[in-house]
Homo-oligomer: A and B are copies of this chain.
């Protein structure tokens, strides 16, 4: 009975090879400019065979961005010992921005690009909904902040979304090159500066 299992492993291995090739190409050229034929060339298979492992191109990149969520989530683990929720909230923001700036293409895929699964019955995409533990983590932290007395009269859900939007807005404007409107001498540091402004606003709100 070991044969079927070995075949299973082989199949899984090739699937992984496709993903690795796709990731390498996408980090180098972006999603749009990475073609099925490019990937096929790299792993020395024919273009058609890729369709035995993935339904279409979207599925490849959807599989890829899952890895991104795990990366981001694992970065958040250092926050576990931080007791003060306000402190934790700020550090979360810093980690989020740092991840985005260090992995702009992956961030782009995860949060900016048109969702690969938009056309599918979006309820199908349970991984995104449930799997996006980072937002749940953010919500839980905000909840704690409220319980401790900060953000009085604020709504947990809406405030969580607002905080997420703030950091997402900064990094996505940066990644998509919309920061040219800020003063030239500030452009290189504007995301960091903006984040610090955000922190000092949080500080002012929490006293």
Residues of A at the B interface (CB closer than 8 Å) are 111-115, 118, 122, 125, 128-129, 132, 135-136, 153-155, 157-162, 164-170, 172-173, 176-183, 186, 190, 193-194, 196-198, 200-201, 204-205
Given A112-B112, A190-B158, A204-B205, CB of A173 within 8 Å of CB of B168: yes
CB-based contact B169/A164 at 8 Å: yes
CB <8 Å contact, B177 and A170: no
Q: What residues on B are CB-neighbors of A122 within 8 Å?
A: 177, 180
Contact B182 A161 (CB under 8 A): yes
Q: Oligomeric state, in number of copies?
A: 2
Task: For A118, give its contact among B157, B166, B177 (CB under 8 Å).
Answer: B177
User: What B residues does A167 contact at CB under 8 A?
Assistant: 169
14 contacts between A and B (CB under 8 A): A112-B112, A115-B176, A115-B177, A122-B180, A128-B181, A129-B180, A129-B181, A132-B181, A157-B182, A158-B186, A161-B170, A162-B197, A162-B198, A169-B169
